[in-house]
Structure 1
Amino acid sequence: VFLGWSKCRGGRKVGALTYNSEVPQSTQQGIYMENGSGGFLADLTFVGGNFGAYFGNQQFSTSHLVFVNCKTAVQVHWDWAWTMQDFVIEGCENGLVVTGGAGGEHSTGQSLGSLILMDTIVANTPNGIVTSLHAENSTSFLLQNVGFFNVKTAVTDSLQQRTLLAGGDEIYVESWGFGRMTNKDGVGAFVNGEHIPAMNRSQELTGVQYDKMKPSLFTRRRPKYYDVPANKVMNVRALGAKGDGKTDDTAVLNSILSGAANTSSVVYFPFGVYVVKDTLRFPMGSRIIGQVWSQIMGTGANFEDEMQPRAVVQVGRPQDPPGIIEIQDMMFTVSGPTVGAILLEWNAQEVSKGSAGMWDSHFRVGGAIGSNLQKGNCPKNTGQVNTQCKAASMLLHLKPESDAYLENVWAWVADHDLDQPNRDQIDIYVARGMLIESKKAWLWGTSSEHCVFYQYQISGASNIAMGMIQTESPYYQPVPKAPQPFRTGLFPNDPTFNECSTSDARCYSAWALRIIDSSAVYILGAGLYSWFFDYSQECLNTNDCQNRAVEIQQRSDLWVYNLCTKAIVEMVTPIGGVATLAKDNINGFLSSILAWLEGSKDVTGQRDFEGFQLFTLNGLRNQNVPETCKTALSAKVLCDFWVSMFEEPGYRGTLGNKTLTDSVCDSGCGKSLQSWFDNVNAGCQGYNISGEIPTLHGGRMWAGYNETCLKDPETGLYCNDLIAEFSSVTSIREMPQSEMCSECYINRLALMQSSSYSIYDDNYKSDLELVYETCGETGPTDTPPPVSPRPDEGSTLCVSEKWHTVSQGGASCEQVASINNVSAVALYSMNPQIFDCNSIPDNTELCLPLSCGRIISYTDQDTCSGLEAAHDFEPGDVQRFNPWVYRDCSNLAGAIGFFGNLLCAALQNGEYVHGTPGSGGDTVTPHPGGTGYTSFPIDPPNNATIAEGTTIKCGRWHVSAEGDSCATICLSSDINIALFVAANPSLGSEYSECTSSLVSGNAYCSGPTYDWEDTEDL
């Protein structure tokens, strides 16, 4: 035996050549691996011998192994899950031999459980693959992108002595296998040696292509730097870093790393523990190599605030140009308490495939001397959470727009104390494992274990390839129940576990993997394990230590192969879909499925509502608020889009349509609004957004939701619908007592009084006082403090500066809209004094929205496409002219009962064309709600005077002309008026004075750049 290899996770063997005897009687072996929980092997060549490699392990990744003239190239005698990629087998008698299977249904024996062989060539080898296919629930085996050249039999069943897949001179196998498969319709069945649908292989993720085969998935081995001269290697110890586990090395290391990146030098960290008390920055251009996992240890006050998470190590900065980052043989850790630590934040973008990569580098939290997170501090089963053992917010964050190549990376939160003789179990708390938001990433041979929320989360990402991932849930869960002891909402799409029933403790355990709003995701082998329920292993007997492993939300182009779980009831849980159960897919000791394809073609895990954002991260770029605040503000609100109309203050009356009201009042929407509000309130405390409190718009929506969805406790009907049927009176004092004193009417007013985000004012205060007096009820009636300054009548801003007074006899929104050629929906949104669109009282003064130019009528039978065809519109124009209409047009008919049957058939206020007086720049369609910012400055218009004090950091200019108003300028330029007056201080600080301050012929900035307030480069 050349090499005996029984390794745990994190171990690696790369780049070796073994020569064994080529005589027929040889019993030599290149590698003998009997067991373990690995691991990663790559770039090994085996020549001769009885076995090139004799493998057995729990889970493993092997890449680019070459076998020449072996009797048997590879024999696997046992595993749970294995991913073999880019093998070359040449001139052997047998290519791959699989000895036995996992056994029949309910078998507890384990031979080979699950295996993928992909991107592989088998040539001049009589027996390509020899296996024993017992029956249903035996080994899951997948071939994908495998070429057989001059092979007698491609796949042989050794037990039944039959050919499963014929050989030949040139046999290409795109995707073939046997095992349990869940198809695109969510139906599970056993596939007995058949074609398996193959993933799309995004060009972004592929590398070399062998002749007559599809391109292989990209791999890159770690760089060796053999050609780097000694004067280009910077030893951090020689340059002043201590690495003694005590001295703060932050400043000296940041200086060394900056200099090395600027001189294309390699930075060498000799073995040691390098303490950093603030963020250590790996600049783009860095090439970093450690020695036996040199440690970067974060500690100190900068990492102790859960509400302000901070990176211990930051790889590149946001907005850095693409480049090179190479990291190998490093370890990232902390010395607690460090609840706010993000051990590694990755912003790097590659300049070529694999140029931003990390190899053989690991994360370890606790369980070691110097961590302050050992048995003495953090023993198990104490009955309470020791906050000093809350050790990190996240292990690894692959940020949006980043690219990453990760190979052999193990992220471990200690479950036991490594440096105690008895290896005692301990309670260490880390909220999140790996959050992947990249636009492209490869993860080969990675593992994430023992985090509270999830081990892996792929969120808003694309082009993600994962080859053999491995997870374990925390041993202490569900005590405490997830998400305790951490706060949710500080990072995108944090799970809340709100869907769990309080009586179902097994629901409150960490997700192994979540995939949310992502595309082109390829999972090629996964071992997801749960070994304990509150440190008890009795649940292994019933295979129910926890309920769920993998959550899918709103995704297609998702391909999952060879998924294996242990003691988890639901293997895959698509939101709104049918879960794939472990009991239906038992495969020896584990449960496994060959392929889960429900999300391969169609959207799976489809939420009731796609959701909408009140703010975008890009739009918040120039806001000087913490990252956690931006994350909270930009979170999706998972509600019917109608709810977004509550952003404008107003009385919330009946919607006139029960189906619509039921959709608006979805219970999940209420939870989503509350979550948004609570997270923004916590993450943005003490800050303003464009002069407003951060919770303003979401708070109004939440108040509008509550006021709309209030129900009569006796009948279960919506209170607003009941109130709409009350007697018509001119004063509340004329109301019949039975109506005034109804629970709906009392509770409706009381609900408004309870929120600063409603339009409750002195008039409603008088009404509520009268109701309480008349009905013998009591309760608070005071006006809640305003969340924003209430403008006096003289300072009310009307976008169009046009008004309409309702004549005697009242009017409806539809009638006012028809007379003035405006949108009824916009009219309602802009005028909070409209309680009921079907009955606007006499003498009500209404601010008119901008004119549509043209309006059309429709019926409840019309569709968007039908209206577009009938009126010669372009596809999508109905939504373009009427932004309140859903993308699928489903709310069109329901709006008639409340708003009437009129639609805008042209843009509100028309289009503004650059170059004429009063215009706003490029051809602009006014859609209020844009960021208002521009990316790059441009010169101001010729023959125009820049207004006094106006910023020159401006990418969009407006030359004022007679008849202009600040409102129309803002709409045409899609800029918030607060930003407009800030960039043009000559217009004053009061919005009501803005229009009168405009000077004809002056140029005003209507699109400042994101950095317009920075003065250092002026």
Structure 2
Amino acid sequence: MVALQHLVTLLSLCLGARATFKIYKADDLESYNVGDACVKALSADIACHQHTRSFMQPRYRGSLENVTLTDQICTGTCSASLRSWFNTVVDACADEDFGDGVPQRYGGYIWNGWNETCVKDPKTKKYCNDIIDEFTELKDGEEMPRDELCHICYRRRLAIMQSSSYSIYDHFYQSRLEKVYKTCGGSGPTEIPPPPKVEKPEEYCLTNKYYTTNEGDTCDSIARANPGVAGVYLYMGNQELIGDCRNLPAGLKLCLPTTCPIYVVKPGDTCWSIERSLKVIEDTVEDYNSWINVDCTNLQKATDFYGKPICIGPFGAGTRSASSDAVAKTPLKFSSANGPAVVLMEPPEKAEVADGTTLSCGLWHTIKEGESCADICKAHEICDEDVMYEVNPTLSRNNDECTKGLVPGEALCIAPIAGWNTTYESTGPAQEL
């Protein structure tokens, strides 16, 4: 029996080492107007374990909790194949028009995911993700123990993320890496890598009205200085330029959004108190500000960031500030029909995000036992268009198949933020350390 188990393990390792998959099939590329060399490069086999294909979505790569599987993934053959695929596609598709996408992005995500998964402790030769998985579970406000913060695996894991435009390295991980260097010694780059780049689109502004920022400007100050401008929509229309609404560098050329009747939120205001003071019908505030959550608990916090002027009437309905005069109400949905959400929300703490689901999400739904896709669609009014399935690619558009695929406890995105599906061209993925 032991011999048979040993044989099965060896067979599994051999099959994993020889496994191949494609990111694209040649037939799937017929809709793109690209040359034969680019098609050949994109549809080439990748000599990696099939599980590696799941790295196509950017996310934090934790322990696989299976050393045998990790060994099958972390082979030199796979690393070389990913490198070859990426570099070949970059060269072969350099002059091709791939729409608004980037030909090598999925390969870049996979290659970076491989690097994050396969980094090892140089002393014990254990996978770093397995070691980090055993770190102390911290409660809110607790600091990491020094021996864990300064562990070589924690440092290397963050450094690998920092080195790639295809990772989710952001201000949070930057602060962690800076703390590692400050506390434990050593040095290295900590800057957030530039996002993958695309050709600069032709400048377009719906209103054809611009504002150039001055030192000390904020989204709030700009909105207050321009009648009818809501701070959140100023940000939404200029997300590629605005990093922090509260600290804008001078010299930014911002497109001013379409104007609307404005209300300036005051400390202590709630959606209900605003509606009562303006004598408008219930839910008016939420209807014209889809970024406000159902119970309006994020009103003050969000406007602290985006600016206190908010819309209290439809776009184009005048620029005067709202008073006690009644404001017309147009029914809107917090769904795909009303456009993306604005405020990024973290996934539910106790739920695992469904495989491939975007993390650029403003509202989450945790699947309940016995729930159907029709129930989710009805609850959130998101299935009239394809957004539900685009942001949650594991879901089938067939309701019965969709319901069969639901996993209780998993989280689905039901309101993506603006720009969730924007793709970019990269300077290259992380290299092995």
TM-score of the two chains, using structure 2 as the length reference: 0.49
- Structure holding more strand per residue: 1
Looking at both structures, which has the greater relative contact order when contacts are Cα pairs under 8 Å and sequence separation is at least 6? 2
Higher helix share: 2
